[in-house]
Amino acid sequence: MAKSVVSIFNHQLNDDVYRKYKSGEISEEFTRSYLHELYFKDPSKYISWAEQVISTDEEMKIVLYAPEYVKELANIAINKGEDFRQCYWQSIYVNCWAKEDVEHIIRELVNVKRFPEVLKIIGNNRDEVQLSDVEIVQILHKCMENFSAFNGRFDTYNFINILEGLDKSEDQNVIQLLIPIEFIMFRHLEHQMNVSNLRLSKEMSHNPELMIQLVEFANLAYDKSYEALETINENKKLFGECALYILRFGHNIVSFIDKEGNFDGNHMNQYIKRLYQLAKEKKRTEAINYVVGDILGDIPRDDNYPPQALCEIVEELNNDTIDRNIYLRIYNSRGVTGRAYNEGGKQERYIVSR
């Protein structure tokens, strides 16, 4: 309806719409649509009219933010003071494919905590956005701090688009911020991407110290008085739940596959031995038996499985917990299947033979 009104009357009804909106006779939704169409009908004329309206009635901020992002209108809001600026960026509709001043738009939306829109803009314009990896990972960090802003509808698709670029970074400032983000978001990511590509997985695969830290966090969730302990920091509770989830369900979080795609038995041996050294120091040897069983149970099962190095370390460790967890990891690796009624149990027999 707004589009039709503008098409027929152009600017002739501006004063009427202005008065009726002020008196509550027409909705904000219609007024925004009307002003949006009016701007695109004649941008220069609209800007002149908006300047005139704001100069006489500062309550009519809607004339600035209704037509999406327009640099001239944004500058008017900025020049009017912080109240105008906040209202403008809190209220404006932003096209997620915006090209003009996109870095400025992102920073302003971050300031007013509109993180769902920020993720969409960065995710859809990842190659064009001229922000450093450090700036982007800092924005993701703020997204995590304001998770409630997503109202239960977290934009995993664009989040993953952004992560795929950041995971390739070798900047330690990026890595230090990225690891806790991926750690907390792991359960949102594992079903939609290959988690072995996460920076968290890469660091975990070459840093046994990080795995021990994960085990120590998970121990919080096992504490019998866990629910009643009001003294435990809220972040520690979150870390404990995330760590426990990763240790229980995080397949392939540690990988011993080299850059050429081959299994590296030497890397595996050094990693497991260092893990046990650290576990002994932290008095976590029993817990590490379960972890090692899961890690060894996730080693890829190709035609040459099991590799000789795996056989040797299983014999050397000679631990029932490890053996049982390798068995369970293989047994549960298939997932859910659907087959014809007369197909038989070939898949099950193959898994049993492993």
| Predicted confidence (pLDDT) per residue in 242-274, tens digit | 898 998 888 888 999 988 888 999 999 999 999
> How many whole angstroms separate alpha carbon 201 and alpha carbon 204?
5
Residue 335 is given by DSSP the state: -
Structure pTM? 0.78
Mean pLDDT of all residues in the chain?
86
Q: Which amino acid is at 24?
A: G
Cα atoms in the Cβ-side hemisphere of radius 13 Å centred on 95? 12
Confidence of residue 223 (pLDDT cuts 50, 70, 90): low
Question: pLDDT tens for residues 50-96?
Answer: 898 898 888 889 989 999 899 999 999 999 999 999 999 999 988 88
Residue 151, by phi and psi: left (phi above 0), alpha (psi -120 to 50) or beta? left
Cα atoms in the Cβ-side hemisphere of radius 13 Å centred on 134? 3
Q: Which amino acid is at 56?
A: T
Residue 334 is given by DSSP the state: S
Is the torsion defined by CA of 310, 311, 316, 319 positive or negative?
A: positive
Longest dimension (CA), the chain: 88
H or E stretch at 21:
helix 14-23
What pLDDT was estimated at residue 112?
Answer: 93
What pLDDT was estimated at residue 110?
Answer: 93
Confidence of residue 221 (pLDDT cuts 50, 70, 90): low
The number of residues making up the chain comes to 354
> How many whole angstroms separate alpha carbon 312 and alpha carbon 46?
77
H or E stretch at 215:
helix 208-222
Cβ neighbours for 107, distance < 8 A, ≥ 6 positions apart = none
Q: Which residue has the tokens 């070798």?
A: 170
Q: Is it true that the peptide bond before 208 is cis, omega within 30 degrees of 0?
A: no
What pLDDT was estimated at residue 31?
Answer: 86
Closest CA to 266 of 297, 296, 306, 309: 309
Give yes or no for residue 238 having a pLDDT over 70.
Answer: yes
Give yes or no for residue 299 having a pLDDT over 60.
Answer: yes
Give yes or no for residue 232 having a pLDDT over 60.
Answer: no
> How many whole angstroms separate alpha carbon 26 and alpha carbon 18?
9
Residue 325 is given by DSSP the state: H
What pLDDT was estimated at residue 16?
Answer: 82
Which percentage of the chain shows pLDDT scores above 90? 38
Question: pLDDT tens for residues 305-347?
Answer: 899 999 999 999 999 999 999 999 888 877 677 777 787 888 7
Residue 148 is given by DSSP the state: G
Are residues 165 and 182 in contact, defined by beta-carbon separation less than 8 angstroms?
no
Token pair of 254 as six digits = 């540690």
Of 67-81, 169-183, 227-241, minimum mean pLDDT range:
227-241
Token pair of 282 as six digits = 């932290």
**More confident: 28 or 3:** 28
What pLDDT was estimated at residue 235?
Answer: 66
What pLDDT was estimated at residue 226?
Answer: 42
CA angle 128, 172, 291 (to 5 degrees): 110
What is the mean predicted confidence (pLDDT) over 38-44?
A: 88
Strand, coil or helix: 185: coil
> How many whole angstroms separate alpha carbon 327 and alpha carbon 256?
19
Token pair of 344 as six digits = 């038989």
Of 100-114, 231-245, 246-260, 338-352, minimum mean pLDDT range:
231-245
CA-only gyration radius of the chain, Å: 28
What pLDDT was estimated at residue 278?
Answer: 95
Residue 198 is given by DSSP the state: S
